[in-house]
Amino acid sequence: MLLSILIKPRVSEIGGWLLNQKISKIAIKPFIKANHIDMSQYEDVNYQSYNDFFMRRIKLGARPIDRKESHLIAPCDSKLTVYPIHEDSSFCIKDTYYTMEELFHSKKLAKAYEGGQLLLFRLTVDDYHRYCYVDEGVKSKNYRIQGFFHTVNPLANDVYPIYKENTREFSLLKSKNFGIVLMMEVGALLVGKIVNYHQEKNVVRGEEKGRFEFGGSTVILCVKKNQVVVDEQILENSRDGIETM
């Protein structure tokens, strides 16, 4: 019953509003200390709210971009897991299992990426919450999928299973070096917000694509068959259930 109230859009809006108020600044210093964040790599500014701090910018040059065209770069600071994409594949994303079709709400896209790979970049609260394009190319418009949350039987003694889908947004990048890359951002269930800056656009490698406002977040890249060779150590870690920083 409590969950049914907490997941209302209005509650999420109030949470986001509170994090944008000046009073929320009192949470910044304890958060930095608890998560051992090195603030020397970020711009030296006076943050006006907790969300202002959460969206902090890195200093110019602190994240140099690998310009070698044959190298696929990471879109963000994160913990990486790589999965093969098969017809019957399912992926655990923010504690929910999705097939490709469920994740993108598209049979066509699911079929197109069979035999390829899904790269899951999981951001935690201490990570830099801005993300970039991984290659030069032409970006499509953004497709938004609104999340939802419900319990199957909320009045039973056991309320599990709880089914949820997080809000997410995806686009296609017709890249110069890696084929058509499917890019998705996944927001937090309650107060997380995805802010993408562009619709259809010519983009360059390392250009900032967007940012997340408060909440744990995830960036997903899907590449088609034979387009990318992932480092064997990353693949071995992924098979063993270990994320690669």
Rounded to the nearest 5 percent, the helix, strand and coil shares of the chain are 25, 30, 45
Q: Is residue 144 part of a domain?
A: yes
**What pLDDT sits at residue 146?**
84
Segment 172-177 mean pLDDT:
98
Spatial distance between the Cα atoms of 216 and 121, rounded to a whole number of angstroms: 11
State yes or no: pLDDT of 1 exceeds 70.
no
List Cβ neighbours of 176 (8 Å cut-off, separation of 6 or more): 69, 135, 136, 137
The domain in which residue 152 lies consists of: 66-239
Q: Is residue 11 part of a domain?
A: no
Sheet with 130-132, edge to edge strand ranges:
130-132, 208-212, 194-196
**What pLDDT sits at residue 96?**
84
Q: Is residue 22 part of a domain?
A: no
Q: Is residue 1 part of a domain?
A: no
Catalytic residue ranges: 77, 217
Q: Is residue 52 part of a domain?
A: no
pLDDT tens-digit readout, 83-100: 999 999 999 888 788 999
Mean pLDDT over all residues of the chain?
88
Quote the pTM value. Answer: 0.88
The answer to whether the CB of 143 falls within 8 A of the CB of 169 is yes
Q: Is residue 221 part of a domain?
A: yes
State yes or no: pLDDT of 160 exceeds 80.
no
Q: Is residue 29 part of a domain?
A: no
DSSP secondary-structure letter at 118? E
Q: What angle do CA 59, 63, 68 make, to 5 degrees?
A: 145
Own/partner pairs for 157-161, CB < 8 Å, 24+ apart? 159/3
Taking the mean position of all CA atoms in its chain, how far away is CA 221? 10
**What pLDDT sits at residue 138?**
98
Q: Is residue 210 part of a domain?
A: yes
pLDDT tens-digit readout, 94-125: 878 899 999 999 999 999 999 999 999 999 88
Q: What's the number of domains the chain is made of?
A: 1
